[in-house]
Amino acid sequence: MKAAVWYAQRDVRVVEVPEPPKPPKGWVKIKVEWCGICGSDLHEYIAGPIFIPVGTPHPLTGGTAPLTLGHEFSGRIVEVGEGVTNWKTGDKVAPDACQVCWECYSCKRMDYPCCEKLAFTGLHTDGAFAEYVNVPAYTLYKVPDDMPFEIAAVVEPLAVGMHAVRRAPVMAGDNVVIFGGGTIGLSALQSAKAAGAAKVIVVEMAKARKDYAKKLGAYAVLDPTQNDVAAEVHKLTDGLGADVAIECVGSDKTVPVALASVRPRGIVVTAGVFEKDTPIQFNNVTFPEKEIKGSLGYNGEFATVISMLGDGRLDAKTMITGKIKLDDIIGKGFEELVNNKDKNIKIIVSPK
């Protein structure tokens, strides 16, 4: 079968690889329908390795480059491994990407994103930019029969945005500023509004992403090249500052601005993947008693996202700006996202 395999920075190849074998105990084999290109995939393409193990095998999966990318996906189960009793062939699913040990301090408390050996499908073991993929059964979530596969493929990034909103947590009536209008930023925007936020302000430079933020209900959209963002956020919140800032860019320049944008005892949640160290003057945290919280992936939000997509409180369709074939993933996928960020939000890939 064909797969998009990461070999090195700027070296992802569509090549023939063996179909995954019969799934091991506790795992299932899935026939992939759609898989989205995630920001983390793009980070690996542009600046990797960041997550992908090179040389030293991952302690949980044993995976090492070259690896098949892809973790935002939907499909049907085609084979179940020994001991899998709650899933069957033909089930329509959207798996999360977290593979964990279930033995460490965090796993025993169901805080699985903090697993000591945390691995991600498509980064630490072969992923879903392929016709078939094997994953642990505990990662699976049932997709309703009436939900299109392309919508189900966007459950994963929506869950990332929702987890960031819950990490704050955003409360009803809060004012929220979100840095970044890409997939995760727009997911956080929608989740913050669903949580009852009063005003959700989005900070973004790209025209298309600014337009999508407005379409999805942003109270205001600020361009950092044209505004003093922190000052404008204070103006829009009666001089106080936002209750919560969510950083979805992963830029060394945004966290200090996010800190300056929130009120005393305000909360900054970092959900972006950072390629550079970020300078922070911690007196700006200590004196006004502000908080910085990390947010990685999700912690069970898939079920809530699927439910809220079903009743219309979340919108995945608007965020899908491209559908391509696996053979075109480099030129019309990665390079398109690198060179035409202004036009794209989420590009999804079919292995067919």
- Is 78 within 8 Å of 89 (Cβ atoms)? yes
- Phi–psi pair at 98, nearest 5 degrees: -85, 120
- The pLDDT of residue 75 is 98
Going along the chain from its start, the domains and CATH numbers come out as 2-154+316-350 (3.90.180.10), 161-294 (3.40.50.720)
- The pLDDT of residue 343 is 84
- The pLDDT of residue 274 is 85
Q: State both tokens at 282.
A: 């911690």
- The pLDDT of residue 350 is 98
What would the 3-class secondary structure string for the chain be?
A: CEEEEEEECCEEEEEECCCCCCCCCCEEEEEEEEEECCHHHHHHHHHCCCCCCCCCCCCCCCCCCCEECCCEEEEEEEEECCCCCCCCCCCEECCCCEECCCCCHHHHCCCHHHCCCCEEECCCECCCCECEEEEEHHHCCECCCCCCHHHHCCHHHHHHHHHHHHHCCCCCCCEEEEECCCHHHHHHHHHHHHCCCCEEEEECCCHHHHHHHHHCCCCEEECCCCCCHHHHHHHHCCCCCEEEEEECCCCCCHHHHHHHHEEEEEEEEECCCCCCCCCCCCHHHHCCCCEEEECCCCCCHHHHHHHHHHCCCCCCHHHEEEEEEHHHHHHHHHHHHHHCHHHCCEEEEECC
- The pLDDT of residue 249 is 94
Collect the ranges in the chain with pLDDT lower than 50.
none
- Is 40 within 8 Å of 273 (Cβ atoms)? yes
- The pLDDT of residue 10 is 95
Distance CA 274, CA 9 (A): 16
Number of other CB atoms surrounding residue 47 within 10 Å = 13
- The pLDDT of residue 341 is 78
Q: Give tens-digit pLDDT for 50-98.
A: 999 999 999 999 999 999 999 999 999 999 999 999 999 999 999 999 9
Q: State both tokens at 100.
A: 């964990």
Q: Give tens-digit pLDDT for 254-299.
A: 999 999 999 999 999 999 988 788 889 999 999 999 999 999 999 9
- The pLDDT of residue 275 is 77
- The pLDDT of residue 247 is 98
Distance CA 57, CA 303 (A): 32
